Chains A and B, each alone.
Chain A
Amino acid sequence: MTESLLPVDAYLVASLPEIWFAAVMFALGMYVVLDGFDFGIGMLYATRTTEHERETFLAAFGPVWDANEVWLIAFATMLLAAFPRVYSALLADHNLLAIGLVFALLFRGLGPELREQRDDERWERYCDYAFVGGSATAPLLFGMLAGRWAFDVATLSLPALLTGVDLVAVSIVTGAAFLAAKSDPDVASELRGYGTAATLAYLGGTVALLASVVATDAGGAAEAIRSPLAVAVVALSIAAGLAGTVLARRGAYRAWLASALTLPALLSVLLALLLYPTLYPSTGLSVRGAVVSPLALNLVTVLGFPVLLLVLWYFKFLYGVFSGPVDAEGYGS
């Protein structure tokens, strides 16, 4: 039956493997952008001292974080569906980093949920540690994993660590911008300070990272970094970052948020540019070499892409429902 519907020996379109590479990277980008600001909220939460402010931050985080986190699973399972050998090698080679990441995500997710279950100061403090610790550790480990993936370096090497730190910094930028767009002016202007510092750290970190990779030619990525497209992406990031700090200073928080969100998106684009056409440099696996057979890929395309569009549509609905300012009571009516 399916034979007549789906081609068995040829991809639906000749470039379907490349389209899937782009789709996997898109899911990764969605994750870094969306859960990134969740991590930022978690880290900035540590700077709040009053219960009212803390609850405001938690209220902003509450309705959306779980849906954001699903992009990680979407990324992982799409990678598995299209490029199983890359999925298995990547995780097998980074066992401890990957397990560390899931623990960080576990504490980050449980902290806020458990906090509200009990009215006890010590209990709330433990939950806060879990929330803040998990929110800081998760992007660090995820970034280190990505650095090892792209540059074929050791865990405790400069490129891996810098990628980790970069992801932490960019999460703080988007977290600060997201919260600023939803908070009252006093809090927003404080967040502006953190956001600006984090932006400068992020831009500096990225330049240092790329310089160190070019210097050592880690993972053979030097050439790709010097390519016009990659240079353009870096230039665009710098422009967006600086524009963001200006917008923040002017109090144009929604515009700041828009420019802040482009930073992690551009970072994902950069990762894709550095990888392609290989998918996992240390194994030499390429997009074409690791992709599943035509029938399998055609199937996940036909069944999966319409669903992905539907998902994007109800994400829009979710963010529409929970738009506008927030306070400790949550999103008002």
Chain B
Amino acid sequence: MSERTIARNIRRLTLTIAIAFLVTSIGVGYWSLVAASDLNADPFNPRLIAAVRDRPRGKIVDASGRVLAESVKDGDAYRRRYADRSVAQVVGYASFKYGASGIEGTYQESLIGRDPADLLGQWKARYLGERTEPGSVVLGLDPKVQEAAVAALAGRRGAIVAIDPKTGRILASVSVPSYDANALVDPQQQDIAWGQLNDNKDRPLINRVAQGLYPPGSTMKIITAAAALESGFDPNQKIRVDDPYQADKSWGDYFVRSASGSHGDFDMALAFQRSENIYFAKVGLTIGAQKLIDMAKKFGIGRAPALDLAAAKGQLSNNGSLDRPTLLADTSYGQGELLTSPLQMAMVAATVGNHGVQVQPHYATEIRDGSGGILRTIGGGAGDQVISAATAAKLTTYLVGAVEAPGAFAFGARIAGVHVAGKTGTAETPSGSPHGWFVGFAPAEDPQVAVAIIIENAGQGGVDAAPPGAAVMRAALGR
């Protein structure tokens, strides 16, 4: 009797073990079959870099054909050499130990001759061991604009990005502080360099253009104005501004402050010229939270741009809603809990310039195969109509006024012979003096370039950021 119960227990335990083996096998199958393609293309997977250790990896070049990254012979193996420190975060690195980042990571497969567009080559590599010659990646970066951007930022912590509003091609991208990627691919230095870069509190590895998040300050007023115009708000209506402002006593000791201590009547054009916080706070309160939330969402705040590098999504507020009147008022002129990346704000300017159509940005423009033929082109999507062309035209007028009108704050962005549309911003930050912003595009009628600039802890905020904006746009326009 008792032997039989033990027999029953043994059988049940064996069955349990068999089931556990089955579950474990499924787990192993998940990693080796289902999750495999993701992991095999993971930029940190050393196999991808090892695949080309004994032969050159493809080149990364800018729009003019200047080589930004190439492989050089180093003993028996090849090592990456990086030419331009100012594009370190964009080009990235391909380290045997620390994986690949930037363009080196995103277009990893193309650079080792396994571009997804080349199915035959991929199949040959996997099953026949035949290696397709590595292709190269062409970036949209224009060396003239890039150089102007580096000079304009002049080593100050911050970022500059210039894009073509019509195509989304990124013409210049600077993120300071930068780093020397050559140290990360040198076996002798890599561990120390990696440790230092990760411990550095200024975070040089971060691409501030797309991954840096800042309060946008007054540049946000473009979105607030767009929301107002699209919901039928009359821009010519005079609104009374008296500094300091609070809507009612329930705000307690909280006030919205005017940058110039204004007392007077403002319409939208004047409010843009003088960057009048109280005007836009009142506009926000008038149209209501939902209109502002919807418009910010349409412009892409809170959503990562479909970029070919890592990009932050930013936020309108901590919980996504604007449920307090003070938060709504603050958000309307760019403070509150808002966080955006410079790239997102450049896209806002580009959208206005491009008659309300937003095109997704991209660093690479072409993938070439080993013999230089074009395998595929990047970008070229149709774009989304974010605001109507009429709204965009009105906003453009106001943004030109913000640069060119007498007494306009963004006067530093003027370019002789070209109408510039732009907006400065001074973003209060808990960490020291405010960040300076400038976003804009030129020529205003038919823009060829849109820029966003952030200078961290700039002494005078937006006033400091407008001249670099002009310099970068001038380079892009060839003036």
The yes or no verdict on A and B being binding partners is: no
Contact surface of B with A, Cβ cutoff 8 Å? none
